[in-house]
Structure 1
Amino acid sequence: MTGVLELYRQKVADGFLTADPAQEAVLEEFARIRAALHEAPKRGLFRKAPEPPRGLYLWGGVGRGKSMLMDLFAATLEVPCRRVHFHAFMQEVQAGLAEARAAGKDDAIGPVADRIIDAVRCLAFDEMQITDIADAMIVGRLFQKLFDGGVVVVTTSNRVPGDLYKDGLNRQLFLPFIELLNERMVVRELTSPTDYRQDRLAGEQVYFSPIDSDAREAVDAIWRDLAGGGGEPLVLRVKGRDVELPAFSNGVARGRFYELCGKPLGPADYLAVAEAVRVLILEDIPQLGRSNFNEARRFVTLIDALYEAKVRLICTAAAVPEMLYVEGEGSFEFERTASRLREMQSEGWGG
């Protein structure tokens, strides 16, 4: 099968990708891991299987191509590999732990780790980040078992390992996990100066009003371009409850206004959304006022979280920002939100 470097260069030659020296340099790490994984285990009566290769922790700014490189890597593997968003993986792990505890297991992490070790030789994560204390308290033991079981972990992140779970509750208990990552994985920064995701949106309309067939077709086209269409639900675990983004792919999430603002969500939930996605497509924002004051208040909180995290927003709305909320309690305060919505439409915003 074609190697990851060869596949990258072929896509450049075919015009699907733009050659980027920073990306190509990082691909050498992916090629190293792929070669080691594909070596036949040299077992014998008195010889153990070779040590698995060190994994890769690839971090850097948004839109630099980290997920794209991971896709190329996973596409060239001929060993069992699981490609999954880190939040979704931890959601599955927490469900597995609950199941093991219900079955009376003294050490719930053991059977969960064993199941993963039996299924894959490589875990390829998107967006490693820890925001939930329940995850923070178990990742160290879980990953130690996975590494000891020969699983190779490759992950992307927007931050260095030392900044994971920064300022989190009981963070001192989390620090051994950071040491484990640095020991068992090669940490590389993707230093490309180009934000390819921003480039693809440069000069494009991102706020569509009114909500009509033209707006929906335009948003569908943006979704296909940025996320490849399709997508899977992404469930974020926040303070013991689930926040679901209906469709997620390649750092891009898509949902409707009432799916994010019609539910009793709060600042912590929207901060988790802003942490997990780099682009949010929010559809069907209605006229706001007295009749949907609670939804409007949540919308303000959501926009604040997205704005502070520099998440790119693409939306369909019933009116232009200044006319979304024109009457009722809170209409004056909404002027700041309208201003932010307007700023978030500007070319180059969010870089």
Structure 2
Amino acid sequence: MSETLPAYYARLVAEGRLEADPVQESALPEFERIRAELAKPRRGGLFRKAPPPPKGLYLWGGVGRGKSMLMDLFVETLEVPARRVHFHAFMQEVQSGVHMERQRGREDPIAPVARRVSDQVKVFAFDEMQITDIADAMIVGRLFEKLFDAGCVVVTTSNRVPDDLYKDGLNRELFLPFIAVLKENMEVRELKAARDYRQDRLAGRQVYFSPNDAAAREQIEEVWQKLSDGREETLELNVKGRVLTLPRFSSGVARASFYDLCGRMLGPADYLKLADTVRVLILEDVPRLGRQNFNEAKRFVTLVDALYEAGTQLVMSAAAEPDYLYVEGAGAFEFERTASRLMEMRSAEWAEEE
């Protein structure tokens, strides 16, 4: 695509596919700077070095402000090979590669992994950079140094300013050089949009559907399409050496079934990681709970607690209203608190406050 990013954005607004936002428009020149530089011939001559790659971009700001959408538009306008990937998914891939290289006896397992990923593309677009895992924190600095040394350009979105990455993490002093590397190789810009477009799309919408029938499934699908814009990927989260797979994920919104999250041997650490990663969870097909699925019910209670404490928006389809989901058997009394939280989380006031 030879169109500039501001021109592309303006065309989408004119076609009614986007709503003009002055704050979003103010971020376009930084993306366009990178796109225009990458569009120039980069080969050096016999006695001349190739020009250095442009500095990347670290775009941070609140949830639902349009950061991921702007990055997607940027990738669409590029004329060079680029890879757009959620940061957690990329780090999961890197961790697997490092583990494989260690098994091969590599003294420096990060180098061949960085070489493989940098040979494939020269522009990395990472969505939602956040670092909560010590395993990621201990390798991300050297990994990015090698990516930058290979001439790669990195563009990333985040909900946190760089100085708050891995905040209060174990051995954080070993992580601090990575923040310096980011600032040296990337322009840092805040997207200060006042509107949360993701919440706007949920504003006034029903978020709890019961009974779980064809009508509920149709409405859930409509919510998913609204929030995902038709884009989705699989996200794998590393939790203490285990992998938690979210089968459908798009820009902070995850969609999973009750069985995906409560029918498997998952625990509090898994749900805390999930709640820390996603901003909206669409949970489908929650059955009636009782003695016949006691273990699944306990996991469901733990999941709801994690989502509630993290302020994660829950969109859910269930066999019954919260007060009638768990009416008999051990645990029914304790479930009253969960039912109360579900009632609160479906209210417009809770969503706006969170």
TM over 0.5, shorter chain? yes
Please report how far the alpha carbon of residue 250 of structure 1 lies from its aligned counterpart in structure 2 after TM superposition: 2.3
Residue of structure 2 equivalent to 1:94: 95
Partner of 1:46 in structure 2?
47
Provide the secondary structure at the position in 2 that maps to 1:16. Answer: coil
**Aligned to 2:42, what secondary structure does the other structure show?**
coil
Which letter maps to 1:240? Answer: G
**1:2-30, Cα deviation, whole Å (9 max, x unpaired):** 11111111111111111111101111111
CA distance in 1, matches of 2:112, 2:55: 24
So what's the TM-score if we normalise by structure 1?
Answer: 0.96
Pairwise CA distance, 1:308: 2.0
- The change in CA–CA distance for 1:71 and 1:42 in structure 2 (over 3 A counts) is same
Shift of the alpha carbon at 1:236? 0.2
Deviation of the 1:165 alpha carbon: 1.4
Deviates more, 1:164-173 or 1:135-144: 164-173
CA distance in 2, matches of 1:3, 1:157: 24
Matched-pair identity in %: 67
What SS is found at the alignment partner of 2:348?
A: coil
Is the Cα contact below 8 Å between 1:261 and 1:298 reproduced in 2? yes
Looking at structure 1, the residues matched to 239 and 299 of structure 2 have their Cα atoms a distance apart, in angstroms, of: 16
Distance 2:231 2:53 in 1: 34
- In the other structure, the counterpart of 1:125 is 126
* Matched residues, number: 351
Aligned to 2:325: 324
Matched residue, 2:265? 264
Shift of the alpha carbon at 1:329? 2.6
Write out aligned runs for 1:301-312 (5 A): 301-312=302-313
Normalising to structure 2: TM-score of the pair? Answer: 0.96
Matched, 1:19 2:20: yes
Q: How does 1:1-351 map to 2 (within 5 A)?
A: 1-229=2-230, 231-347=232-348, 349-351=350-352
Q: CA RMSD, aligned part only?
A: 1.4
1:162 Cα deviation (Å)?
1.6
CA contact (8 A) 1:198 1:348 kept: no
> What SS class does the counterpart of residue 329 from structure 1 fall into?
coil
Contact kept, 8 Å, 1:252 with 1:280, in 2: the verdict is yes
Describe the SS at the equivalent of 1:138. Answer: helix
Superposition deviation, residue 241 in structure 1: 0.7
Contact 1:5 1:27 in 2 (8 A): yes
- For the residues of structure 2 that align with 1:230 and 1:32, how far apart are their CA atoms? 26
- Rounded to whole Å, the distance in 2 between the matches of 1:255 and 1:18 is 29
Q: Which moved more, 1:253-262 or 1:341-350?
A: 341-350
2:147 alignment partner, SS class: helix
Report the Cα distance in structure 2 between the residues aligned to 1:230 and 1:122, rounded to whole angstroms: 20
Inter-partner Cα distance in structure 2 for 1:163 and 1:262:
35
Distance, in Å, in 2 between the alignment partners of 1:185 and 1:333 is 50
Deviates more, 1:14-23 or 1:160-169: 160-169
1:348 Cα offset (Å):
5.1
1:346 offset after TM fit, Å? 1.6
* Matched AA of 1:111: P
Amino acid across the alignment from 2:192: T
Amino acid at match of 2:136: D
- Give me the whole-angstrom Cα distance separating, in 1, the residues matched to 2:47 and 2:309: 58
